[in-house]
A and B are shown apart, each in its own frame.
Chain A
Amino acid sequence: MTLPASLAGTLLAIVIMALVTYLTRSGGVFVMSRVPIGPRVERFINAMAGSVLVAVITPMAVHGDWGARLALVATLGMMLATRKALVAIAAGILAAALWRLW
């Protein structure tokens, strides 16, 4: 199932994303007023939230060029060192730019 990337298709995709996102925002409140979320479900959701980002990033590192890899390494390093997302992202972009300009 795919949508064409026309204006209508893109708008529909955005509306669907918005609905799914609101479902997550309201769902916890809705479910908790009926049944509590148990520790196993909480562990699954916690692990899944980070894992989805890992699953998006890993192929970028494996299939990307050295500029992309360096950018990710720089971001990771700066993030661990400073814990400041903006600094880390800036370092990543700078690393990729320097690699590709020279």
Chain B
Amino acid sequence: MSRASDVRLDLAGTVTGLRRMAPLCLFVVIFGLAFGVAALSHGLSGLEAVLMSALVFAGASQFAALELWGAEIPLLPLIAITFAINARHLLMGAAIQPWLSHLPAGQRYASVVLMSDSNWAMAAADYHSGKTNVGMLVGGGIALWAAWVAGTLLGVVFGSGITQPERFGLDVIMGCFLLAMLVGGRRDLTILLPWTAAALAALAAMTWLPPHSHVIVGALAGGLAGLLLPGPREPAS
């Protein structure tokens, strides 16, 4: 474990983090490109799509939010979806809090501004191997952010030339992306119980409840079903 007095955030560590994340950025550019194309086909302007990538910087929730875009944007479902999809950040932040707690509060809350799955994973590995430089989290985040925004910009530029996205199957990018993210993170089959609950609740809500409520209803149903699962790691702590 890291020695408290040594934990720090500096420029050299940040540059190292940037460099270590660079290979992954190529893929992030392609995902960003897909988001740019999907955003245009859901009625966002190019500027709005790029701004969303720059300010929100959370792929899955951005794709999911597109589903709500229309002549009007329903506010509560938007907030609920964004929160629910990104709620995993709460756990990620909690997991590295003992590491970040040695930084001054300003640096601590600034260093999580660009926290996302991959730079967090590498930073958490650094933490557990006893490294004392938080630069991986920040530098990796900057690299991912730049790639995501650049990718979105490319998607907006090239996507605007495509007049019939559904003809090329581009309208399904969002669904495919979300499904890939969903399947990619999981190994044990017990998660199928909350997922089934979520699917059934979402379909039921779509039939009987107001429009756009199905995502919230499904997410809550899945979360509650998750409480029924036995704790995988802690037997009776």
Contacts and interface: CB of A to CB of B under 8 A. Distances in A.
Given A24-B86, A45-B223, A52-B215, A16 B177 contact: no
Majority secondary structure of chain B interface residues (helix, strand, loop or mixed): helix
Interface residues of A, number: 78
Interface residues of B, number: 102
Contacts of B171: 68, 96
Interface in B86-104: 86-98, 100-101
Contacts of B184: 79, 83, 85
A89 B73 contact: no
Among the interface residues B90, B181, B215, which one has the most CB atoms of the partner chain A within 10 A?
Answer: B90
Interface stretch (B125-133, B152-160, B226-234): B226-234
A50 B195 contact: yes
Contact of A96 (B84, B169, B202, B231): B169
B93 A54 contact: no
A21 B58 contact: yes
Interface string A38-61: 011011111111111111111111
A96 B222 contact: no
Interface stretch (B1-9, B11-19, B105-113): B105-113
B223 A59 contact: no
Contacts of B30: 86
A47 B179 contact: no
Q: Ordered nearest first, which 8 A-B pairs have the shortest CB separation?
A: A47-B226, A51-B222, A55-B218, A28-B93, A96-B169, A48-B223, A92-B176, A51-B198
Interface of B: 27, 30-31, 34, 43-45, 48, 51-52, 55-58, 60-62, 64-65, 67, 69-76, 78-79, 81-98, 100-101, 108-109, 112-113, 115, 166-173, 175-186, 191, 194-195, 197-199, 201-203, 206, 214-215, 217-227, 229, 231, 234, 237
Interface of A: 1-5, 7, 9-11, 13-18, 20-33, 36-37, 39-40, 42-62, 64, 67-68, 71-72, 75-76, 79-80, 83, 85-86, 88-89, 92-101
